[in-house]
Amino acid sequence: MSNNGRPLSPHLSIYRWPITMTTSILHRATGVAMSVGFVVLAGWLLDAALGAETYASMMPYLDTIVGKALFVAWSFAFFFHLSNGVRHLIWDSGRGFEKAQANASAWFVLILAFVLTALFWWVRS
Amino acid sequence: MSLRTPLGQVLGRGSAKEGTGHFFAQRVSGVGLLLLGLWFACSLATLPGFAHADALTFIGAPLNGVLLVLLVVALAYHSYLGIQVVIEDYVHGHGLKLLSLIISRFAHSFLTVAAIYAIIRIGLGA
């Protein structure tokens, strides 16, 4: 088949995963993760309102390794979704759509999210 | 030349006039959450601890209470709009899709009201 050097449609064995795809998928995944986190936020507020006993009965679950890992994941989800959300707002103004710009901003928000997550837990510790 | 579909031209109902409504609501609630979320993250990072007394002191402070209610409302709205798109993308079949959207709306409404009830109750010291 002659195709004069024109690009073929994505083919799994030779497909190079673009970083912008990672950020796009992560934006949705972190959004859904924080919707689940909303349940925990509401639960925390409600347990605090219902009294010391109810509150104390919830805390042992949050103080496990799984619980702590979830909070680290939620903090990353928050900082990534926030950074990438600003990236989307800049796109909405019509700027930053060039491939090189989109790739650079994808790496920027990813690294920024990790830095902000680390900063959050450093202040917290 | 009209960009309307043949069916649209025959029915002649025109646009629903809400084409960008969802898009715009998502952005505006997003900007609100940018501010409220950063405030909440900074608060959580600097809270003395997470014992019951610490939680009551934080949630019960007047400004914190107001900002928490705003956070919960903006978060619920933004979350509902986002989950709506996810459901519309991945849940196929009209009935199941509609059911999922209704359950999502009820769940978001319940969590919002429960959270606001808790914040007000703590704020009033009840």
pLDDT, position A75:
98
Residue B26 belongs to some domain of the structure: yes
* Contact flag B50-A59 (C-beta cutoff 8 Å): yes
pLDDT, position A2:
65
Total domain count, chain A: 1
Distance between CA atoms of B117 and B99, rounded to whole angstroms? 27
Q: Give the least confident one: A5-14, A33-42, B31-40.
A: A5-14
- CATH number of the structural domain spanning residue A83: 1.20.1300.10
Residue B3 belongs to some domain of the structure: no
Reply yes or no on whether the pLDDT at A80 is more than 70.
yes
* Contact flag B119-A52 (C-beta cutoff 8 Å): no
Reply yes or no on whether the pLDDT at A1 is more than 70.
no
* Contact flag A45-B59 (C-beta cutoff 8 Å): yes
User: Which amino acid is it at A29?
Assistant: A
* Contact flag B68-A45 (C-beta cutoff 8 Å): yes
How large is the average pLDDT for residues A98-116?
Answer: 97
Q: Which domain holds residue B42?
A: 20-123
pLDDT tens digits, B60-77: 999 999 999 999 999 999
pLDDT interval class at A116 (50, 70, 90): very high
Residue A9 belongs to some domain of the structure: no
Q: Which of A48, A78, A85 sits opposite B59 (nearest CB)?
A: A48
pLDDT interval class at A29 (50, 70, 90): very high
Distance between CA atoms of A34 and B41, rounded to whole angstroms? 13
Q: Which domain holds residue A104?
A: 17-124
Q: Which residues of B touch A56 (CB under 8 A)?
A: 52
Residue A3 belongs to some domain of the structure: no
pLDDT, position B12:
82
Q: Which of A35, A55, A79 sits opposite B79 (nearest CB)?
A: A35
Residue B4 belongs to some domain of the structure: no
Length of chain B, please? 126
- CATH number of the structural domain spanning residue B106: 1.20.1300.10
Distance between CA atoms of A101 and A78, rounded to whole angstroms? 23
| ipTM given for this complex | 0.88
Chain B nearest C-alpha distance from A35 (Å): 6
Element counts in chain A: helices (H) and strands (E): 4, 0
Average pLDDT, chain A: 93
- Model-level pTM? 0.89
pLDDT, position B106:
98
Distance between CA atoms of B111 and B97, rounded to whole angstroms? 21
Residue with tokens 């014992």, as numbered in its chain? B51
pLDDT, position B1:
66
Total domain count, chain B: 1
pLDDT, position A10:
67
Residue B11 belongs to some domain of the structure: no
Q: Which of A46, A56, A123 sits opposite B46 (nearest CB)?
A: A123
Distance between CA atoms of A115 and A36, rounded to whole angstroms? 23
Reply yes or no on whether the pLDDT at A49 is more than 90.
yes
| Positions of chain B with pLDDT lower than 70, given as ranges | 1, 126
